[in-house]
Amino acid sequence: MKTPASTRRAGRSTITAGALVATVLLLSVAASPALGGPSLSSLKTSVTKALKLAKTADARSRKALKLAARPGPRGPSGPPGPAGPAGGTGAGGSAAATVLDFRADPGTTNQVIYDHGGLVLTASCTTGPTILVTAKTRVDHAILHAANIIGGTPPATTTELVQKNDFLISGTQTIASTGHLQGTATFSTPTGGVTTLAYGAEQGAFGAGSAKGCWFGGTANSG
């Protein structure tokens, strides 16, 4: 930080004044006896006092200059700056999964177990016991694909494929109609909504005390 010019000039003026006083007094010492003035001893004392005053003034001047060189107190904070640019779009998160869990005894019919994204699943359990899960669409011209693996006497299995490429509101499509079944399905609407299913089905499910005639369970993700 630069020392203000006025402060520098004040310091130089004080030093110059002190030197001038000392010079005048010294000249007075030399001329005083000849002019009948004070004695040399008296003039010496006066000169000593003058020099002391000059040194004191010089010290004060230096102190003032030092204080002037120090930085002043911190000023108030300025106003906030303009807002920065908007950040980029973050990565899309995955849709939350919906649990599918139908467990019932014979006599339970047409129970809606899922209704989202344009897809509706309905489950029934009839005498046998026999399970039946069907799909309907709330949007015309949708697509539904499903693949089921049905177990028989090991190691025999049957693969069942469903392909509905122009699924209409008036239509109904069977998803599961037997036990020992594991499957997946994908449903999509013309506007871009997509729902995926992963599920299993059984007839005569669970053990004693918790036994149910029919079970259909899994997860559905819609986005």
Number of neighbours of residue 45 by Cβ within 10 angstroms:
12
**pLDDT of amino acid 48:** 79
Which of 141, 138, 140, 134 has its CA nearest to residue 197? 134
Identify the band that residue 10 occupies on the pLDDT scale cut at 50, 70 and 90: very low
Q: How many domains does the chain have?
A: 2
103 shares a domain with 213: yes
The answer as to whether 215 is a domain residue is: yes
The answer as to whether 85 is a domain residue is: no
211 shares a domain with 105: yes
146 shares a domain with 54: no
105 shares a domain with 191: yes
User: The tokens of 201 are what?
Assistant: 């089905």
Identify the band that residue 49 occupies on the pLDDT scale cut at 50, 70 and 90: confident
The answer as to whether 82 is a domain residue is: no
DSSP state string for 80-145: P-PPPPPPPPPPPPPPPEEEEEEEE-TTEEEEEEEEETTEEEEEEEETTTEEEEEEEESSTTEEEE
Task: Report residue 200 CA to chain centroid gap.
Answer: 39
Could you tell me which residues are beta bridge partners of residue 71?
none
102 shares a domain with 37: no
189-218 residue pLDDT tens: 999 999 999 999 999 999 877 889 999 999
128 shares a domain with 62: no
159 shares a domain with 120: yes
Report the C-alpha gap between 171 and 168 in whole angstroms. Answer: 5
Q: Domain span at residue 34?
A: 5-69
